[in-house]
């Protein structure tokens, strides 16, 4: 990847990019409150399952399809509709739509962009600006994992050393999943990380909530 697309990708998926990721726990707050995620090992396992088998995997496949469909408005609209329909909980749907709209508004500094589910908006922007697919998916999954780690640092709580260790341990899985998603089709969508989806649903009734999802 040349320097200019790399710089754009680093900017777009930086924690400083104004999509509000810090306010969404993706259901993680539920399992922290219930004691399922309570230390470095359990946090690693939770995020790893989401990436390999759950919402992380599905979003990576959808991002890849959006990247391929960037120049085809009909195909792109269809995958955006599918991405919204695949949100298993109201809060998860709100999360992807709100972040996607915020991403489109911010990325419009580089050129026109339309609101879409978050993974779709990122995939489209990456294609429009010459970011190679696998690099875009790798950065997406790293940002996904990093945001969940930042949630745990505040809510478990964990120390920053533990958080960095989790990200380091997830590195090989992120790379392998990125390569797999870049070669995938929509037929490869699906997962078995049901606890993650149920946690997102149960978050709506959590008595004390710090995060929107």
> Tens of pLDDT along the chain (213 residues)?
679 999 999 999 999 999 999 999 999 999 999 999 999 999 999 999 999 999 999 999 999 999 999 999 999 999 999 999 999 999 999 999 999 999 999 999 999 999 999 999 999 999 999 999 999 999 999 999 999 999 999 999 999 999 999 999 999 999 999 999 999 999 999 988 999 999 999 999 999 999 999
What is the pTM (predicted TM-score) of this model? Answer: 0.97
- Residue 172 exposed, middle or buried by CB count within 10 Å (0-12, 13-18, 19+): exposed
pLDDT at 2: 79
The C-alpha atoms of residue 99 and residue 159 are separated, in whole angstroms, by 27
For 25, the token pair is: 């726990």
- CA R_g for the chain: 16
Q: Which two tokens stand for residue 161?
A: 């050393």
Q: Which of 173, 158, 186 is nearest to 61 (CA)?
A: 186
Interatomic CA distance for residues 133 and 114, integer angstroms:
20
The phi-psi region of residue 111 (left if phi > 0; otherwise alpha if psi is between -120 and 50; otherwise beta) is: left
State the Cα–Cα distance between residues 39 and 9, nearest whole angstrom.
31
Residue ranges of the domains in the chain?
3-12+26-204
Q: Are 158 and 43 in contact (CB under 8 A)?
A: yes
CA distance 202 to 187: 29
* 136 contact partners, CB below 8 Å, separation of at least 6: 9, 63, 67, 122, 123, 126
**Whole-number pLDDT of residue 14:** 96
| 3-12+26-204 has CATH 1.10.4190.10 classification | yes
- The CA-based angle 50-55-60, given to 5 degrees, is 105
Would you give the end-to-end CA distance of the chain in angstroms? 34
Place of tokens 């999802």: 213
């Amino acid at each position: 990847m040349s320097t200019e697309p790399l710089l754009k990708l680093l900017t777009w998926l930086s924690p400083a990019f104004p999509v509000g990721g810090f306010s969404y726990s993706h259901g993680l707050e539920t399992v922290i409150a219930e004691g399922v995620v309570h230390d470095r090992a359990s946090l690693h396992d939770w995020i790893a399952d989401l990436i390999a088998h759950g919402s992380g995997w599905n979003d990576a496949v959808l991002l890849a399809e959006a990247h391929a469909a960037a120049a085809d408005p009909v195909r792109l609209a269809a995958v955006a509709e599918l991405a919204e329909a695949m949100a298993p909980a109201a809060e998860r749907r709100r999360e992807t739509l709100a972040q996607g709209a915020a991403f489109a508004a911010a990325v419009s500094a580089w050129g026109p962009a339309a609101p879409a589910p978050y993974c779709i908006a990122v995939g489209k922007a990456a294609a429009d600006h010459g970011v190679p697919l696998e690099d875009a998916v790798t950065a997406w999954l790293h940002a996904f994992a990093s945001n969940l780690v930042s949630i745990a640092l505040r809510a478990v709580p964990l120390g920053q050393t533990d958080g960095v260790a989790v990200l380091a341990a997830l590195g090989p899985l992120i790379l392998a999943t990125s390569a797999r998603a870049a070669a995938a089709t929509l037929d490869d969508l699906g997962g078995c990380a049901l606890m993650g989806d149920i946690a997102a649903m149960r978050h709506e009734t959590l008595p004390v909530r710090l995060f929107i999802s």
